[in-house]
Amino acid sequence: MKFEEMPLVVPNLKKAEKTFSTLENRIINAQTKEEGIKVVKDYFKASDELESEITIISIRNSIDTRDETYEKANEVCNEILPVISGYTQNFNKALVESKFKSELEEKFGKYLFDRIENSFKTFNESIIPELQQENKLVTEYEKLMASAQIEFNGEKRNLSQLGKFLSDTDRNTRLEAAKLYFGFLSDNDKRFGEIYDELVKIRTRMAQKLGYKNYVELGYLRLDRLDYNAEMVKGYRDQIYECVVPVVKKLRERQAKRLNIKNPLFIDYNLEFLSGNAKPVGNTEYLVDCASKMYHEMSSESGKFFDFMVDNHLMDLDAKAGKRGGGYMTFIPRYKSPFIFANSNGTSQDVDTLTHEVGHAFQGYLCANVKVPDYRMPTLEACEIDSMSMEFFAWPWMDLFFKDQADKYRFSHLDGAISFLPYGVEVDEFQHFVYENPNITHEERCKKWAELEKKYRPWLNYEGFDYLINGKYWIRQSHIFASPFYYIDYTLAQVIALQFKCLMDKNYAKAWKKYIKLLKLGGKYPFLTLLEKAKLRNPFIDGNVKKVIKPQIKVLDSFDDKNF
């Protein structure tokens, strides 16, 4: 079914209560294991129906945050979802207490029950008011970010549309665009700070109600991190600091020489080459045609999948007024359909969308028929392996998108993949500090951010931008508001994606085969077990980050980047 034909159905709380209480009673009263299995399957179907309704509303609200119908529907979801979580938890409690638990574990897998047991640690009905308020505040942040209408070059633009000018070849244009971009954030800084302060305190209150000292442990459990902890993450951050930060510092010095700028400002690093960054050679329609050719040549499975996405209008790619910023992939279980949301703006990021988000969607497509909803997609850090690795698997086809600028793009892409790692762990360390110190002020949080920037990205110079000198760059990072502790997942996945890159440099076909195996495993295992099953190295083990960085520095050195 085409996306626009999918009906908008607002979930009904009374109907949900009846559905899940009936299922709860059925599992309690099941007399045979076969009856228990049938109840669990019916529960999966009910969950998928509810998830489909919520997802369609969320997508449409993202596409047009100004539409009152979608906004009201989204508000209903924000209100009732925490209540429905109570109903589903009641079912899950009955499930794990079933006299047929061992048979159900054998049928559906122990990992499902591990995740259910974990869910008991992250929710009870006492935190429903906090969950409702959390949803409202995240929506307010997203709506405020999407509300920007900034006059630039004779047109009103949102932040995504303005973003492409931040890497313009003309330095004055970059500076002017940056002043307007961060000026909008500065103008709204008081409210952004209040929203985040409220979120931190609400999450802390939830954690304390559930018996935790602070939100850190609860945050990890909410992300289903069952096989690693904050101490392991700290050791991983240390690896990035020790072996990646010095590498990126040299890359920034190399970039400054290419640009012939002696004392570059932060905004100068958005421009990779004096001749301009690699830009795709056509509009969105052209790029989708290129992607179609690429995925058909990549494999029969990927070609068939991409046809499905195009034929059913499962991508909304262009930036426009009122549209939420950023990009994502989500999944609509009822129609077994991934959906890709993005904000194309004429930069290389438009191509990244057609590799990164498509990597997510391809995994969702390959696992669309998995009956256990929890097993369709892995936890977030493993999801990002799917997307970031696809960016590298697409390298042989970059000539389609960039023509004679393809090598320029490849260099920038690999440079960016490595250079991202310090920023990613900076975001993570910042969040640990915030939730370990929940009562500090907005300005104290910003002071910590400025301190961490000097640690992880000492090359940044914010001269003339007091807002950023005062440590407020993090405000633009939506994950910090909406998905606490999620951001480290991108860096973990990047390190694994670089493993795939090292392998494909030696044997592309072998790397692709391993990648497809990983995708088809879906979410059947926790993160580290998934890596083990796919025969991939554990990034938490000291030295494994260095093993993927060193070979790729040699790849970067093989490019004649001075002449791009």
Number of H helices, E strands in the chain: 26, 5
What DSSP character marks residue 270?
G
Distance CA 525, CA 199 (A): 31
535 conformational bin, left if phi > 0, alpha if psi -120 to 50, beta if neither: left
Distance CA 434, CA 448 (A): 9
Q: What is the pLDDT of residue 48?
A: 97
Q: What is the pLDDT of residue 176?
A: 96
Q: What is the pLDDT of residue 487?
A: 93
Nearest to 187 by CA among 510, 472, 389, 406: 472
Nearest to 376 by CA among 112, 56, 24: 112
Contact 449, 477 (CB under 8 A): no
Token code pair at residue 33: 């294991």
Count CA atoms within 13 Å of residue 515 on its CB side: 35
Name, in order, each residue with C-beta under 8 angstroms of 6's C-beta and a sequence gap of 6 or more: 56, 332, 334, 335
Give the DSSP letter string of 206-265: HHHHTT-SSHHHHHHHHTT--S--HHHHHHHHHHHHHHTHHHHHHHHHHHHHHHT-SS--
Provide the 3-class DSSP secondary structure of residue 15. helix
| Cα angle, residue 362 at apex, residues 358 and 366 outer, rounded to 5° | 170
Distance CA 133, CA 143 (A): 15
Q: What is the pLDDT of residue 519?
A: 97
Q: Return per-residue pLDDT of the chain as tens, 564 residues.
A: 999 999 999 999 999 999 999 999 999 999 999 999 999 999 999 999 999 999 999 999 999 989 999 999 999 998 999 899 999 999 999 999 999 999 999 999 999 999 999 999 998 889 999 999 999 999 999 999 988 999 999 999 989 889 889 989 999 999 999 999 999 999 999 999 999 999 999 999 999 999 999 999 999 999 999 999 999 999 999 999 999 999 999 999 999 999 999 999 999 999 999 998 899 999 999 999 999 999 999 999 999 999 999 999 999 999 888 898 888 999 999 999 999 999 998 888 899 999 999 999 999 999 999 999 999 999 989 999 999 999 999 999 999 999 999 999 999 999 999 999 999 999 999 999 999 999 999 999 999 999 999 999 999 999 999 999 999 999 999 999 999 999 999 999 999 999 999 999 999 999 999 999 999 999 999 999 999 999 999 999 999 999 999 999 999 999 999 888
Token code pair at residue 249: 């510092």
- Exposure class string for 329-351: b at 16+ Cβ within 10 A, else e: bbbbbbbbbbbbbbbbbebbbbb
Distance CA 324, CA 163 (A): 14
